[in-house]
Chains A and B, each alone.
Chain A
Amino acid sequence: VSRGARGGGPRVLVVTAAPDRRPSTELLREVVEELRRRPGAVVEVWFLRGDPDPGRWPDARNVDRLRTWVVPGTLERVGLAAAAHALRGARLRWWWRRVAPAAVVLDDGLGARVMPRGASVIVIGRRNPVPPQGAALEPDPIESPDLVLSTAERAGDPAHGPRHLRGPVIAQSARAVAAGASERATRTREQHRLPIDRQLLVGWGDHAWIDGLDIFVRTLWQVRRDLREEVHGVWFGDLHPADAERIRFDAVRCGIADALHLRPAGDLESRCCGDAVVLPYRSRVDDADLLAPIATGIGVVTFPWCDVDDPAVEVVPWLDADAAARSVASILTEGRSGRTDPAIDRHDVGRRVDDLLRAVAELVG
């Protein structure tokens, strides 16, 4: 067990895929910041793909530059993939020896072929464990971590071991958005040219089919019919133009062309400018996607990929737009709930870090 040279506490190494802006990566960044504020903890952060922005990720480093180097690339292209992997492995082992961590916090989906021996492994569970394209360094996922930290327990998933810390975490960024989001909603709507005097469903995603935009449209149509109200819907996402065109056609044929607004991908603020959120994803995504709305007290309707246990989240059967519409109607008639504060209190990032440090302390003895 190594102790950090600087503070004498356990050396914790956080390994993640890429310094992207996905909500769960943002959450991880906040966890790291919180860890660094704690006395006694020494934290190092590795990325396996892409150089981190020093402003956002101080002292983090990209340890797999070999991926972009000519030699292993050439080896792979000429059919010597094993040699390329060996070269990368040698380079990574050099890094492991240099850091000698007591505990490794490994982002979900990353493999463990060249993990250091003796270190405890903590996996950050994502609902979408597939990192950005090409980021998975190792083909074999880690099979027996010592601890899993995730937004919810993975039922029937024995690969993640017996110990499991669970519960969604409200990231500081989501918390910041949540504070006063309802007051800023009008301005946000104006910025996005959305009606301010209508109830508004919000959804987001860049892939029309995987993210279920067709179900979103059906839900919107049905809510309008059931409530007999001028409910509008906005979808934030950088859609393929052909997909957007198709969806517009469907909206025209349903008679809701004026009520459906397609906008480019928005920020957290934009996700909180509505009265209900509908995320009819066909694929698993980060539960962190839901954090900003539930912190704001906006009801979220989604499919069973989500297992965030929170009163603001309603899960309906797969592809069941009718059930989604009923849930949305219930949320809209109920109005913004008073669940904002409890949600923030319950899912505080600081508490998660306490749990993490406690677990690390136990793991490293």
Chain B
Amino acid sequence: MANTPYVDRDSTFPTTGPTGAEHNPVTGVRHGVDDSPAPTRPGAGPLRRLLAVTHEATITGAPMNLLHLLTWIQDHTSIETHLVVMHDGPLRHRFERVTEVTVLDRSSLQRGMSVAERGLRQLGSRRAWKPVAVARLLPQLRKLSGFDVIYLNSLTSLTIAEHLPPALAVVSHVHELQVALRQLPPHERSLLEQLPDGWIAASDAVRRMLVDEVGLPEARVRLHHEYIDPAPFVGVATDAREVERLRASIGIPPDASIVMGAGTVEWRKGPELFVQLATECRRRSREPVHFVWVGGDLTGNDWQRVRSDIERAGADLVHFVGVKPDPLDWFSLADVFALTSHEDPFPLVCLEHALMGHPVVTYRNGGMPELLSAAGPEAAAGVVDHLDVAALADRVLELLASDPLLRTVGAQLRQHVLDHHVVDVAAPRLLADLEEVLRTGRHPGVPA
């Protein structure tokens, strides 16, 4: 199978593919999931047109990463981009400033068909939902054509991959870990394995999952840690009066330390572990330490669970403030950021706090231990065993007790993020790999 060229269905490329090879429904390219090196794809020129797909336009990790990438591409290249948004959200307006956007399912009929499709899938249908999907998506996607690369940002984007116009290469950027992967319907799981010409992993933890659990060829799974735009965080002076106002608004005295958490209040983000961390710290120290969680819908069942835990544990020093239009003002209150997620590939909020010079502590899971370990020895001490709430509490209190340690860890993290995880550093690398996939279909350094 080595040195077998890819085969295009329109016969632009040679037609002798590997035995048992798969047919890529989007690219029209045939390939198997082998590791063998491939020559440069004939006819593939530089990347000129990129079609990106995002499952939603919310202010969350994967869409924010995509926004940074598309913004950088617009500012620094002549590549033409187009974005398909599967579910509308507040980030759409920012996307529209940097690229052309197609939002799916805007009419009632399309939304109704989408509901019907999901219903059929829930009922266990293996085929009946497909005509519904075709009838829903084809009219909406028909106008799109002539793209070099399709860039599927997140696993959920795979849902519409089959209905996208043909392109020379398909890349899947995976921002998820095991829980999301295992909830992926079998059809999308199959697409993940067979459709893309290359995969991008948002952290090494994601990469290991794709290789070890999904069985993707290791050399074709490229590692690109998440990144952020540093502009809002660098050289911005914190307004002391605003800080005091925010502290006072939730009853935190001026001399109290603040440990911050952030995100939705669903299980994956571990808000209940944040509450347990707070109670554990209170048992260990008489110093006033308050715990503030920014984000999350404070009306649903998930919140009721967290709230009942707070009440049962008597954790009156824990404050869940919900979604804030100005989260950075709230973030600036933090002395330490605690990532209590059960799993998190590489959360941007940690990068943001790192840029603000806040130490980060976390359990040993997901991608954040990679960042802390790489930043420096003091920063790396912020990683404790998974669910070891007591050890996390010890580390939090150790940091809060020592200003020099706080500053050292903060500086290590800040420098590391500036060096590796800002868009000006990361986007060119990512774009180069997209070009590489387009050119070869595979990673250039694949061993035979």
Contact = CB atoms under 8 A, between A and B. Distances in A.
Interface of A: 209, 214, 217-218, 221-222, 242, 245-246, 249-250, 253-255, 282, 303, 317-322
A221 B313 contact: no
Contacts of B272: 214
A242 B183 CA distance: 8
A328 B136 CA distance: 57
Contact of A321 (B314, B343, B389): B389
B308 interface: yes
A253 B386 contact: yes
Interface string B363-402: 1110000000000000000000111111000000000000
A322 B313 CA distance: 14
A214 B276 CA distance: 12
A254 B267 contact: no
Given A282-B308, A282-B309, A319-B279, A249 B342 contact: yes
A63 B385 CA distance: 56
Contacts of B279: 319-320
5 contacts: A249-B343, A250-B342, A253-B365, A282-B309, A318-B314
Given A282-B312, A319-B276, A321-B276, 20 more contacts: A209-B305, A217-B387, A218-B389, A246-B267, A249-B342, A250-B386, A253-B342, A253-B363, A253-B386, A254-B387, A255-B385, A282-B308, A282-B309, A303-B312, A318-B312, A319-B275, A319-B309, A319-B313, A320-B279, A322-B280
B344 to A, nearest CB: 12
B364 A253 contact: yes
A254 B342 contact: no
A220 to B, nearest CB: 10
Q: Which 9 A-B pairs have the closest CB atoms?
A: A253-B386, A318-B312, A253-B365, A254-B386, A319-B313, A318-B313, A218-B387, A254-B387, A322-B390
A303 to B, nearest CB: 8
B179 A245 contact: yes
Contacts of A321: 276, 389
Given A253-B365, A254-B387, A319 B312 contact: yes
Contact of B387 (A221, A246, A282): A221
A324 to B, nearest CB: 12
Contacts of A253: 342-343, 363-365, 386-387
Q: Is the interface of A mostly helix, strand, loop or mixed?
A: helix
Nearest to A243: B267
Interface string B276-291: 1001100000000000
B182 interface: yes
Contacts of A250: 342, 386-387
Contact of B179 (A221, A249, A303, A322): A249
Interface residues of B, number: 27
Interface in B243-292: 267, 272, 275-276, 279-280
Contacts of B194: none
B178 interface: yes
B334 to A, nearest CB: 24
Nearest to A217: B387
B49 to A, nearest CB: 39
Contacts of B313: 317-319
Most chain B CB neighbours (cut-off 10 Å) among A303, A319, A320? A319
A246 B280 CA distance: 23
B364 to A, nearest CB: 7
A326 to B, nearest CB: 11
Contacts of A221: 387-388
A215 to B, nearest CB: 9
A299 to B, nearest CB: 22
Interface in B326-348: 342-343
Contacts of B365: 253
Contacts of B343: 249, 253
A199 B226 CA distance: 44
Contacts of A218: 387, 389
Contacts of B308: 282
B385 A254 contact: yes
A246 B312 contact: no
A149 B280 CA distance: 38
B130 to A, nearest CB: 25
A321 B280 CA distance: 10
A324 B389 CA distance: 13
A33 B312 CA distance: 39
Contacts of A246: 179, 267, 342
Contacts of A249: 178-179, 342-343
A222 B267 CA distance: 21
A318 B386 CA distance: 21
Contacts of B305: 209
A287 to B, nearest CB: 18
A278 to B, nearest CB: 15
Contacts of B182: 245
Contacts of B363: 253
A328 B135 CA distance: 59
Interface string B288-329: 000000000000000001001100111000000000000000
Most chain A beta-carbon neighbours within 10 Å: one of B312, B314, B365, B390: B312
Interface in B143-191: 178-179, 182-183
A253 B343 CA distance: 9
A321 B365 CA distance: 20
